[in-house]
Amino acid sequence: MIRRKETFVIPLIIIALTLTCLPLQAGSHEGHQMAAREGVTGGPAPALATMPGPGKKVPIGNGAYLIYGFDKKPKLGTIIMKVEVYTPDGKRDTSREVLADSGMPSMRGAHETGDQPFKLSRKGEYLLPVNIVMPGDWEIRLTIKKDGKVIFRGSHKFDV
């Protein structure tokens, strides 16, 4: 009887010692999001520019600009982010691809949405629902593409 216990206990000890060497953290999808933010050429996308507050012009290159805002002051729940893109001569431009990734900088990987495409409204506004799931510091990272190439990346941070 003692012999059977030894043959059972010894493998359990070996397994327990092996498990203590393995990392216990779960893999994150952050690397996949970062890869999605890179340019078409595989090189790094433009650096994140800190965007001025909502309602102000944000230059996106070659004289073009965007103006962004929200349907209401950011708070818990769903808010709608609105982006309007303009050509250098002030005409609305609906030929761009607009994406956004939102999350909490203090909890990277916990609430990240990954790049989500905006929907183009009949008025020519790019719209995206953003879910604010808890109080704290939040960031929305905006990506603008033209002909499949990243031309602008910007960031707006706010507190809820």
Task: Look at the chain and count its residues.
Answer: 160
Model pTM greater than 0.85? no
Judged against a pLDDT cut of 90, whether residue 52 lies above it is answered with yes
What CATH number is given to the structural domain containing 142?
Answer: 2.60.40.1930
Please tell me what DSSP assigns to residue 67: E
Establish if 9 belongs to a structural domain: no
Indicate whether 138 belongs to any domain. Answer: yes
Question: Does the residue 131 lie in any domain?
Answer: yes
Q: Are 83 and 118 in contact (CB under 8 A)?
A: yes
Q: Is residue 1 in a domain?
A: no
Quick check: 47 pLDDT over 70? yes
For residue 36, the enclosing domain spans: 30-159
Stronger pLDDT, 151 or 37, i.e. the higher one: 151
Confidence of residue 34 (pLDDT cuts 50, 70, 90): very low
Does residue 5 lie in a domain region?
no
13-31 residue pLDDT tens = 666 665 555 554 444 444 4
Radius of gyration for the chain, computed over Cα atoms and rounded to the nearest angstrom:
23
> Is residue 128 situated within a structural domain?
yes
Asked if residue 22 is part of any domain, the answer here is no
114 in any annotated domain: yes
Structure tokens at 130: 């953003």
Encode pLDDT of 99-148 as tens digits.
999 999 988 877 788 899 999 999 999 999 999 999 999 999 999 999 99
Q: What are the C-alpha distances in Å from 106 to residues 4, 30, 120?
A: 52, 14, 31
Specify the number of domains making up the chain: 1
Distances (CA, A) of 91 to 49, 69, 79, 105: 23, 18, 26, 34
